[in-house]
Chain A
Amino acid sequence: MDWTLIVEWVIKSVLLILILVGGFAYLTLFERKMLARFQVRIGPNRTGPRGFLQPIADAVKLIFKEELTPARAQKVIFVLAPIITVVPAVVVSAVIPWGGVVTVFGRPVTLYIADLNVGLLYITAVTSIAVYGITLAGWSSNNKYALLGGMRASAQMISYELALGLSFVTAIILAGSLRTIDIVEAQRSMWFVVIQPAGAFIFMIATLAEVNRAPFDMPEAEQELAAGYHSEYSGMKFALFFMAEYIKMIVISAIAVTLFFGGYLGPDITHLPYIGQYLTWLAPWMGPVYMFIKVVALLFFMVWVRATLPRIRYDRLMAFGWKVLLPLSLAIAFISAVGVLLAEDVNPLLIWVIPVLSVIAGFLAIGFVDRSLRRKAYAAR
């Protein structure tokens, strides 16, 4: 290991953190703008041209706001909780590949920070730490609503972590590896969302619950719990929670892209007619661009869901997680394993057993949800 490698790592890490923090700031604007359009409004448009300076104004406001600590709060944990929430959100992004290998000043540079052979295990391990921050924030605030929010966050996390982990497993089975780069490269011929649509669907649902987004934003349900776990936080500490939520959104979209939507892969621009042959130097750099486009598309999907679906009731949320999503994701992991075995040993075309069976399983699960969620009077119709 030479010192240039360390310099390379430092540069890449700083770049990634800057991208995530800047991405957080502009994701808030993106969400507000898109949500406004869904609700036939305009959204922020006063600060700077078309509201592009709004995140900066928000940041300045939050930094200069007074920070309050409740009188009988657990001070140390109260200060520590936002940090515990933010750090895992940032740290997860280390194993997500943003591109292949590019050449900078005649030196091959990989566009990811760590090449862990247990990358997905690392992701599941680190993402679940974030909920400690939320629960501790609720606990240390000495406020019953905050405590309820924190408890809800941890209960929800436990319920949906299982389905999330099992949908990770489907991707792992299809790729045959825990390395994120291997998983992306295994999707060169076919994205996993095509082979395993139900798995991707479960992943998206569990993801929404994992980052506490609507319709699963129970920990901060405004109408019931004031603001949930961050009721007592103000100023920069509140900004950290906000930052954690949005960075988690970005990171988890990037994970979804990596697992199911072909990661940094995209159309090969060297095959473009007429200009393709001059673009060979650009081709490796297209990885981050494709990644960016896919992540923005998934973020837009999250905003779209938030604009559409109302918040689910809490008992139904738990019932849905344990009684529907967990068995369904188990079944789908099983179907994936069988399909991969059949494709390897009998006939490669039998890989198409997976989407057919898993979609059938998905619709069966939907039927069960429908039956269990239906009120009696409504069912009698």
Chain B
Amino acid sequence: MRLVEPFIELMTGLFTTMTEFIRGKPVTIQYPEEKRPVKPRFRGRHVLKRYENGLEKCIGCALCAAACPADAIFVEASENTDEQRFSPGDRYASTYEINMLRCIYCGFCEDACPTEAIVLGDNYELSFTHRREAIYVKDMLLEPVQAGGSPTPQVTEPGKFTRSVPEMKDPQD
């Protein structure tokens, strides 16, 4: 019959927690002030990208809406003209809405996009107090114009932006 060992086992348990108490360094991250960076493949809130000159990549083809398994995306396209150009090619998305309550962040929209216009970003702080606020419209999703670009709609010279899908290379890695 073991007499002393169970007592020693009990004390070992207490000793283990005590060493954590004395030596353990808290792993807490003070969240709103200090944010842990997300992983490269993290899928957060969507961002609508622009070209360097400020034109929107999105051409309003609605392939993302077709690919969406949760039916969270709504796209309505309108005609581009050279006096009022939003994106290269014939058409642009005049309405682009994502319902963040429906979205499951699967990333299919990203895969479906022929111009790499929609990208799942790293913003995960999506809180709202009303259902209506859950619908993110185009202005909220569109990224700001880079330095050197000009905001849309632009006045462009005719015949320059005829091709709606850019020429793409195969992935390198």
* A residues with CB within 8 A of B: 34, 36-42, 304-305, 307-309, 363-364, 366-371
User: Among A305, A368, A369, A371, which residue has its beta carbon within 8 angstroms of that of B14?
Assistant: A305
Cα distance, A368 to B1, chains bound together (Å): 8
Residues of B within 8 A of A38 (CB): 17, 20-21, 24
User: Among B1, B6, B21, which residue has its beta carbon within 8 angstroms of that of A37?
Assistant: B21
- B 15-49 to A, binary, CB cutoff 8 A, 1 in contact else 0: 01110110011111000000000000000000000
The reply to whether B26 and A307 form a contact with Cβ atoms under 8 Å apart is no
User: Among A37, A308, A371, which residue has its beta carbon within 8 angstroms of that of B26?
Assistant: A37
Size class of B's contact patch?
A: 10 to 19
* Given contact pairs A308-B13, A308-B14, A366-B7, A40 touches B20 in the complex (Cβ within 8 A): yes
> What is the chain B residue whose CB lies nearest that of A36?
B26
User: Among B3, B17, B27, which residue has its beta carbon within 8 angstroms of that of A307?
Assistant: B17
Interface residue B2 (Cβ < 8 Å from any Cβ of A): yes
Residues of A within 8 A of B16 (CB): 308
Interface residue B126 (Cβ < 8 Å from any Cβ of A): no
Cα distance, A307 to B25, chains bound together (Å): 16
Residues of B within 8 A of A369 (CB): 6
Residues of A within 8 A of B168 (CB): none
The reply to whether A366 and B3 form a contact with Cβ atoms under 8 Å apart is yes
How far apart are A304's CB and chain B's nearest CB, in angstroms? 7
Residues of B within 8 A of A364 (CB): 3
The reply to whether A367 and B26 form a contact with Cβ atoms under 8 Å apart is no
How far apart are A299's CB and chain B's nearest CB, in angstroms? 15
The reply to whether B4 and A363 form a contact with Cβ atoms under 8 Å apart is yes
Cα distance, A34 to B4, chains bound together (Å): 29
The reply to whether B14 and A370 form a contact with Cβ atoms under 8 Å apart is no
The reply to whether B6 and A370 form a contact with Cβ atoms under 8 Å apart is yes
For the complex with contacts A37-B24, A42-B28, 14 further pairs of A-B residues with Cβ separation under 8 Å are A36-B26, A37-B21, A38-B17, A40-B24, A40-B26, A41-B27, A304-B17, A304-B21, A307-B17, A307-B21, A309-B13, A367-B6, A370-B5, A371-B1
The reply to whether A363 and B26 form a contact with Cβ atoms under 8 Å apart is no
Cα distance, A366 to B7, chains bound together (Å): 7
Cα distance, A135 to B105, chains bound together (Å): 49
Residues of B within 8 A of A308 (CB): 13-14, 16-17
Residues of A within 8 A of B20 (CB): 38-40
Cα distance, A40 to B7, chains bound together (Å): 26
Cα distance, A370 to B18, chains bound together (Å): 24
Cα distance, A127 to B6, chains bound together (Å): 31
The reply to whether A367 and B27 form a contact with Cβ atoms under 8 Å apart is no
How far apart are A84's CB and chain B's nearest CB, in angstroms? 35
Q: Would you give 5 A-B contacts (Cβ < 8 Å), ordered by A?
A: A39-B20, A40-B26, A42-B28, A367-B1, A368-B1
Residues of B within 8 A of A36 (CB): 26
Residues of B within 8 A of A371 (CB): 1
Residues of A within 8 A of B5 (CB): 370
The reply to whether B3 and A367 form a contact with Cβ atoms under 8 Å apart is yes
Q: For window 85-129 of chain B, which residues contact chain A by CB distance below 8 Å?
A: none
The reply to whether A40 and B27 form a contact with Cβ atoms under 8 Å apart is yes
* Given contact pairs A41-B26, A309-B13, A370 touches B21 in the complex (Cβ within 8 A): no
The reply to whether B25 and A40 form a contact with Cβ atoms under 8 Å apart is yes
Cα distance, A368 to B6, chains bound together (Å): 10
> What is the chain B residue whose CB lies nearest that of A201?
B7
Residues of B within 8 A of A367 (CB): 1-3, 6
> What is the chain A residue whose CB lies nearest that of B27?
A40
Residues of B within 8 A of A304 (CB): 14, 17-18, 21
Cα distance, A20 to B18, chains bound together (Å): 28
How far apart are A200's CB and chain B's nearest CB, in angstroms? 15
Q: Which 9 residue pairs are nearest across A and B when measured between Cβ atoms?
A: A40-B24, A370-B6, A42-B28, A367-B3, A363-B3, A367-B1, A308-B17, A42-B26, A308-B13
How far apart are B24's CB and chain A's nearest CB, in angstroms? 4
> What is the chain B residue whose CB lies nearest that of A362?
B7
Residues of A within 8 A of B24 (CB): 37-38, 40
Residues of B within 8 A of A366 (CB): 3-4, 6-7
Cα distance, A168 to B1, chains bound together (Å): 30
Cα distance, A36 to B25, chains bound together (Å): 11
Cα distance, A48 to B28, chains bound together (Å): 18
Residues of B within 8 A of A368 (CB): 1
Q: For window 36-74 of chain B, which residues contact chain A by CB distance below 8 Å?
A: none
Residues of A within 8 A of B2 (CB): 367, 370
Cα distance, A7 to B166, chains bound together (Å): 91
> What is the chain B residue whose CB lies nearest that of A307?
B17
How far apart are A6's CB and chain B's nearest CB, in angstroms? 47
Cα distance, A134 to B1, chains bound together (Å): 39
How far apart are B57's CB and chain A's nearest CB, in angstroms? 42
Cα distance, A37 to B17, chains bound together (Å): 10
Cα distance, A370 to B26, chains bound together (Å): 35
